[in-house]
Amino acid sequence: MLPEITPLDAALTLTQVPGAVVQLVNDVKAFRDADAAVRTLSDEKIAALEKNLGTGSIEESLAKANEDLIKRIGVLETQASRPELGGETATNAAHEIESRKQFVEFGEWCNKVADGENLDKHVMKAITIGDSASAGAIVKPPTFINQLIADIVEISPIRAHSMVVPMSTQTLTIGRKTGNSSAARTSEVEQIDESTNPTFGDITLTPTFIRAYLDYSMTSEMFSALSIESLLRGDLAEQFAKKEGSEFLTGSGKGAPEGILTNTNIGAVTNSDSATDISWESFATMLTTLKQPYWNDAVWLMNSTTLGEIWNTQDGESRPMLNPYGLEHQQPMTILGRPIVIAQDMPDSTTGLIPLVLANLKRGYIIGDAMDMVFQRDDVTQLRKATLRLYAFMMNDGRVRHPEAIVKLTMA
């Protein structure tokens, strides 16, 4: 370390100046000697460093060291890309061939396990195939698809084709004209009588409940790969739709919707030719019995069994009565120009039953919805059994609106 030079004090007296000057001269001399010693030591160290690094300057030596380092890194990268780190190239190549051989042998062993071929009993004891509960590793674990196989629930299409109105009260009354007025032609001086007055009635919708509840375990909801609550909701929705659809056709009208088949004001045509086979004449009679303004939106209601029987029915000129081009052209199948709607709740073509209906449901049937389907989960009342409860509610009613917009076929 270089010595410090003591600065002169500005408050020196005249008698102190000579001594201070002498001290300053000595400090400057000591600083100069120390600086020379430092320079000599630095030159000696630089010379020793150049000697150790070899010939040439320091810059040349560093460049050479950097080049050697790059070469060593390249060798390490080459070795790391081989199956075994380190070693000679020939050794690595041999190891790579051996690794491939072992991989092929392992694949063949797995195929033997899958095919159940003879393996060492100790090996077979430690493994299992499929979803067996025995101890050991699973060689072929079972595959799980996040789907559920379920039967199709056939739902009546009556709601889709009918008039549907919302309800905000316990009852809904709709006026209906049941009779028309009349007019007469007379001469100029002839006195006329009072015309017939139109008559009126009403329809009253009184919605009632469809209700259900299901219990399911908490563990199934927590650990199942599928959402149990979502599955139950979907199942209940299907069953509610099936229930109301059946009642729209066969309901008693007392505490339930009024069914189209049970309404006695709807006109009927009798299939007199056969007790089981629907004749061509019956279709033509039904269409012409229905008033012409209702034709445009009218549909044939029948179940799939009746549809199958109609496939074999021919008109008076031996032509298929069912339009066969509907399926091929992906258009609705038609009879006499009116589409067919499958309603599985319709009866079969048996003596005394009504297997076929021609109806303009937009004009002929009305549905009142007081409450759409509502779900409520109960997490409390069944806790002692570690069970959850799912409630479902729906509230509606249905009535025949215009009986003249519907025609039924009765089998003799």
- pLDDT one-digit tens code per residue, 57-101: 666 767 777 787 788 877 777 766 655 544 555 555 666 667 667
Residue 40 DSSP SS3: helix
Q: Copy the structure tokens of residue 185.
A: 């032609």
Instruction: Give the model's pLDDT for residue 16.
Output: 62
The rounded distance, in Å, linking the Cα atoms of 266 and 271 is 16
Residues near 146 by beta carbon (within 8 Å), at least 6 away in sequence: 225, 226
Average pLDDT over the chain, rounded to whole? 78
| Tens digit of each residue's pLDDT (9 = 90 or more) over 176-193 | 888 888 888 888 888 888
Residue with tokens 């599985």: 344
Checking if the pLDDT of 323 tops 70, the result is no
- 266 pLDDT band, cuts 50/70/90, is very high
Ranges of H-type helices in 131-227: 158-161, 218-223
As a whole number of angstroms, the distance between CA 233 and CA 392 comes to 8
pLDDT at 408: 97
State residue 191's pLDDT score.
82
For residue 133, pLDDT beyond 70: no
Beta pairing, strands 406-411 & 267-271? parallel
364, two tokens: 């002929």
Q: How far is CA 92 from CA 81, 84, 105, 285, 385, in A?
A: 10, 6, 20, 93, 65
Residue 329 has pLDDT above 80, yes or no: no
Amino acid identity of 256?
A: A
* Share of residues in the chain with pLDDT > 70 (%): 65
Where are the chain's structural domains? 158-180+199-411
- Please give the order of strands across the beta sheet that includes 387-400: 163-166, 365-378, 387-400, 208-217
Higher pLDDT, 346 or 9: 346
pLDDT of residue 351: 87
**Top mean-pLDDT range of 178-182, 329-333, 405-409:** 405-409
| Mean pLDDT lowest among 134-138, 217-221, 247-251 | 134-138
pLDDT digits (tens, 9 = 90+) for 236-247: 999 999 999 999
- Furthest-apart CA pair in the chain: how many Å? 165
Least confident stretch, 197-206, 255-264, 319-328, 346-355: 319-328
Q: Is the pLDDT of residue 251 over 50?
A: yes
Query: Is residue 369 within 8 Å of residue 314, measured between CB atoms?
Result: no
> In degrees rounded to 5, what are phi and psi of residue 3?
-70, 155
Q: Provide the CB-side half-sphere exposure for 84 (13 A, CA).
A: 14
Given CA atoms 14, 18, 23, 25 in this order, what sign does their dihedral have?
positive
CATH, domain 158-180+199-411, list 3.30.1050.10, 3.30.2000.10, 3.30.2400.10, 3.40.640.10: 3.30.2400.10
Of 392, 401, 60, 124, the closest CA to residue 236 belongs to: 392
- The terminus-to-terminus CA distance of the chain in angstroms comes to 130
183: left (phi over 0), alpha (psi -120 to 50) or beta: beta
